[in-house]
Chain A
Amino acid sequence: MSTLRFENITVRFGSVTAVNDVTLEVPNGAVVGLVGESGSGKTTLARAAVGLAPMQVGRVLLDGVPVSRHGPARQLQMVFQDPYSSLDPRMRIGDTIAEALPEVARAEREGQVNRLLELVHLNPARAKDYPARLSGGQRQRVAIARALAARPAVLVADEITSALDVSIQGSILNLVRTLQRELGLTMLFISHNLAVLRYVAQRVAVMKDGGIVEEGPTAQVLGTPRDPYTKELLAAIPGR
């Protein structure tokens, strides 16, 4: 049971207000999509959730309990967009994944790592490789495996498919849906791609200039958008 709730979050960097009084709920077992233009504060909000951005006002609640404001909380895991920066070039990928596993016996570790690698369609033999030997797409799969390794209650995914191969994008999106359906994984899924959000998210929130301009069930937001900015976003989709 894990409902993630942002309550009146405000994040300022110096004189810039990146996130302005945002309240948003990610219900237990649901995927909530977050869409918006660059600099609208999506990533900052996500980082605030995992304790990486300084909140001036507001709090993040997990099942009604405030998440520690000092330092990251393990129940919240994040997957980043940039697969080149998210893996330590000096660490074997197997170790990178194992690092995020909750305390498990050494003997079990290898099995878990292998399973996670298979889960993201990588050959378990790759566990011994350093990131330099992986292509961009393969690195991102490792990053996803690492986030899943921590057995998070809520997963925050920031543009996780935008650097992925088209051929694997589909399987990652399918995976997101499977995880959500079978395990009731709760997820905040950030993407610029409305079609992707439509596919994975039950609810969608649209962000602009640090605030949420529209939030609701996906079909409703995409079908009958109320906010002019949402309409603009929909109109910008190629092939429409």
Chain B
Amino acid sequence: MMPLRRFAIHRPADLGEAAEMLDHYGDTGTLYAGGTELLLAMRHDLLRYEHLIDIKAVAGLDRVERRDGHLYIGAGATHRTIERSAVCRELLPVMSEMEANVANVRVRATGTLGGNLCFAEPHSDPATLLLALDGTARAQGKSGERMLSMDELLAGAYENSLAQDEVLTGVDVPLPGPSQRNAYLKFQVHERPLLGLALSLELDDGGDIREARCAIGCVSPTPCRSEAAESLLAGPADSVEQRLQEAAAALADEAALTDDREGSAEYKRHLIGVLLHRAARKCLNRDG
């Protein structure tokens, strides 16, 4: 295969300098973290840059820590770091479990959460889970910091909504209380998942569902939720279980499924039903 075209690598000392560099190099420069997406796209000549700004040079962007009511996950944290983080395992185990199954062991060792979210590849596991968990992205540019919901950050397939000079610094994920149950499941045949489904249920004392958030990914340009599905997923647990197929159909409708080389729309619709049933059983402890 073709060797990579020439580029220069720059090492910003802090976020301010990174923003200056992004602004200065404009279309000829971009951020580089693990390179697991960027370098592949550059090797195939789908993207060309003369200047890579190594965001790993900025210290501290790979932290995973508890802050107020949130778990803060730095954009520079690798999948492996998040998988193994003791705080993440304790406070948000669903996130560590999801990360343990992203890609392969080599991509997990170098690929970062920030690179995954910013590349906005539609087959992202973290994007789907973070949408369901109501994560908030932190972006920092020359004029300061701004917060974006996952929906706002992910603008489309391979498209994020950051400004030219903005760096994603991390994601705040609300800490689940004792009554929250979370599950993330995916179905995968090749390197990337064909469907990801995240379910987050808020239970009341009697074990009924006060509130539900559910997101599916991989089958639409960006992961999506469905209001109709989420209202079907709230209520007494027994009746919710009766409505799972209906809720799955609502999710499938929202995603506007298409036939493609990964499978027919009908097949994906079927998979959404299967994963939603499994996720609900997991959250409601019905697995025996």
Partners in one complex: no
* A interface, CB within 8 angstroms of B: none
